[in-house]
Each structure stands twice: as structure tokens, then as C-alpha cells.
Amino acid sequence: MVNAITIKGSKDSSDSLSCSLLGWYAVCTSKNLKNDGIYFFSLFNEPLALYRDKQNKTICIKDFCPHRGASFRGGEVKNNEIICPYHGARFASDQTCSKLANVNCQHIVDLRYDNYAKNTYLLQYPCEEIEDYIYVYYTGKPKAAVEEFRIKESLGTLLPESHGLRFSDYVYEEALLDFKCDWDRIVENHLDILHIFWMHGKSLPGNAIGRHSITSFDQKTETKANSIRTTYLHRNASNDEFISQIFIPPGRIIMYKGSLESARYVQILDHIPMGRNRARVIVRHYRKFFMSSSLSSLVLFKQLQLRTFYNIFLEDYLVLQTQTFSQQMGYMRDENIRLLGEDRPLKLFWDWHKSALRKCNPWDIHPISSNINSIHKDLLMVYPPENQRLVRKNNRIIYFRVILRIGIVFIFSLALYLLLT
């Protein structure tokens, strides 16, 4: 994918990533999984669904009813049972927090099918909910009970807390984003620090980043078995840090300045390989300013932050789509790619990616050909930049609340004027 390059001014450790493309993925946030709701997504083309059971435990199932193979789309969660929309087959578990049992059918069509129901169950993957993130341990081979899984990688290495972040010190905004392009291209894009000066200078607040301020950086890179940490240092002042980033395979990037224990601002990006030409990103911006919810609401901080998110990712979108096309056409061969010194994190990512694919290629587990029905692919693209519905909704909220605030000030001023005259 990329050539070997020599980096002037960089310092590197000698370890290499040993993680697989299979393992723990952050696939959803807690607020996107409503009580009595079903959240649909996919990983490596396999359709999956999340819901909560009677203990409020998050369950991840293969989106496939074992009665007749229908999806649970159009179904519902009622009395903590997930119900198939086709014949009303109901599935639930009697699990406790300490023992995860099968998700068995409670009945199908009518109660005469009790014996059938007791031997009919959904396939599932291990699932954990921590700090408003929902994680799924993905192997490509769902099982009847999560106890059957032999979990090779600890979820702890993926958690920001294990790298020093204290969630209790921050408030955050988040957005989900959908792209019709390959997952690996989006990860590469978010590891690419240099492009933000040229492509996003007009969208980012302030004057520190823009086409007028493009510069070069020295890098300090530390590669461990489960992460790559890169610190970008201003070349003319080697102790002056611009930004640091941690890539934690298979799909998490953390960006910050200084240390995670004291950083004023932290960005976490989770990349979800839903399928070929389909990817979802969860982006969260943690901050230690505008901590007051009242003040934040007054100045429309959340809505303005969302507008910035949407603008930035829309600016990236055309590039990502054309890169995906070039990759699929075979144009992105080693001899055609020339990397810069600052591109070292990209090379390290592609080195890991190629190595992981050689060990196990998840795309081979649930392959899709051009003649396969595209229903799951078409229904999943619901977020910007692919789907602009939420962009329009957010803009309407901004316009309405700005007009409302102006109106309140006008009415108050008018009332005060009439009172004093």
C-alpha cells in the first residue's frame, strides 16, 4: 500500500502493533440506543442489532430471525422482548449480570409452539456499555451464548481511561457520521494532521490553522503492541507541541494537546467498518470550558459545534470517495504513492493494516457480490455527510433559537422603553 520512508527528525520505538482487525469496536453511543428501541448497524457486511434486556443490559444480535430469516427491522422491543415483525416471534433471555444466557424464543405465533420456541435462539456477540459507549467484540462468527466466546483482546486497552483520560473532568458533544467509502481511508484521513491546514482552515474557528499557516513538524512516535502514539512538534521549537494522537486498533483515534490527564480539549474518533464502501464514525469532543449547561445552551454551543463537525467531514467526503475509487481500481499501488515525512503515522497504520489482513481478513467472512440485495446497505446510511437530513435539522434549530433570542431581547427592550416613558 505504501513505500518505506525515512523520517527526518522523528524518534521511534521499535515495537510493532500486534492487534487484529477483529476484536472490540465502539459501535454506538448510549443515547442512540433508546429504551425499548432497536439500533441497527453492521460490521464487515454482517447485519447486527442492539437492544436492552430486562436488566437493562445491552444485547448485540445478528439481525436474523431463525424462524424464516427476516430482519428485525420494523419489529419492536416490548416488555424487554425483541419481537420479529414477520410472525411476532418474541425473544428474551433470563440472564443476570453475572451469567449471560441464550436469547431464546418465548413463543412464535401461538403458545402451542412452546417446544419449538425453547430450542430456537438468536445468535449474538459480547457487548459492553462503558462511559456512554457501546462496545461489541466482533469475530464474524456469532454464537448462541456469549460465554462461548474466547475473548483474546482486553477491552481495557481500548478505553481512554487506560491512557489517562478522566471522563468526570469533561463535558462533551458527539455526532455520528456515515460515509459511502472504505473504512480504512477514513482512518487514514483522521491520522493525517497536515491536511487540516489546507482543507479545513476556513471551517475551523480562530486563525491558528489555515492555508496561510501551513508548516512542517518533527514527530515523536511511540509504538506499542496495542497503540501508536505520535506527538507533532513545531520544527523551529522542538519542545512546542502542536498536537498528539493515539491510534488504538482496530478503529479508535484519540487527539489532544499536552497530556490526557490535563488536556483542555480531547477528541475521540471511532471508526466502524460497516461494509464495503460503507463506514460510520462516532466523533466526540470533550472539553473543560463552557462546562455550565445553561451557558452552553444560551450560546448554542452544541448546535454550532455540530455545524462545524458536519462542515469539516463534508469537506473530506469527496476526497475520501475518490481515494476509495482509486484504491478499488488498483491505482494506489506502492509505486504510485509518494509519502512525505509527516506521513509516518499513515505508513505505520497501513503497515499494521496489511499485516492484520494477512492474519485474518474479516471481509472474507461475509463477502458481498454485486448481485446481492442491497437492502441493509441502503437503509443504514442515515447520518451526514451521506445523508444531509440532520444537517438541515441542526441549521433550523440554530436559526429558530437565534431569532427567538433576538425576539426576547426586542420585546424586553420595548417593554422597558414603554415602562420608562
Q: Kindly state the percentage of the chain with pLDDT values over 90.
A: 57
Residue with cell 488536556: 263
Say yes or no to pLDDT of 337 above 50. yes
Q: Kindly state the percentage of the chain with pLDDT values over 70.
A: 91
Ordered alpha helix ranges (H), 175-292: 183-191, 195-199
Average pLDDT in the 263-288 region?
95
Say yes or no to pLDDT of 130 above 90. yes
Q: Tell me, what's the pLDDT at 206? A: 72
Say yes or no to pLDDT of 4 above 60. no
Q: Tell me, what's the pLDDT at 101? A: 57
- Against a cut of 0.85, is the pTM above it? yes
- From 180, 174, 198, select the one nearest 385 (Cα to Cα): 180
Structural domains of the chain, ranges and CATH numbers in brackets: 11-20+159-387 (3.90.380.10), 34-152 (2.102.10.10)
Buried b (16+ CB within 10 A) or exposed e, 87-108: eebbbbbebeeeebbbbbbbbb
Q: Tell me, what's the pLDDT at 9? A: 42
- From 384, 9, 343, 364, select the one nearest 195 (Cα to Cα): 343
Instruction: Annotate 18-86 with three-state secondary structure.
Output: CCCCCEEEEEEEHHHCCCCCCEEEEECCEEEEEEECCCCCEEEEECCCCCCCCCCCCCEEECCEEECCC
Average pLDDT in the 176-200 region?
93
117 vs 8: which has the higher pLDDT? 117
Q: Tell me, what's the pLDDT at 114? A: 65
Query: Which residues, in sequence order, are CB contacts of 251 under 8 Å at separation 6+?
Result: 25, 26, 183, 187, 270, 271, 272, 273
Q: Tell me, what's the pLDDT at 43? A: 97
Cα–Cα distance, 128 to 155 (Å, whole number)? 9
Average pLDDT in the 356-372 region?
89
Is-contact 308 204, C-beta < 8 A? Answer: yes
Q: Tell me, what's the pLDDT at 13? A: 45
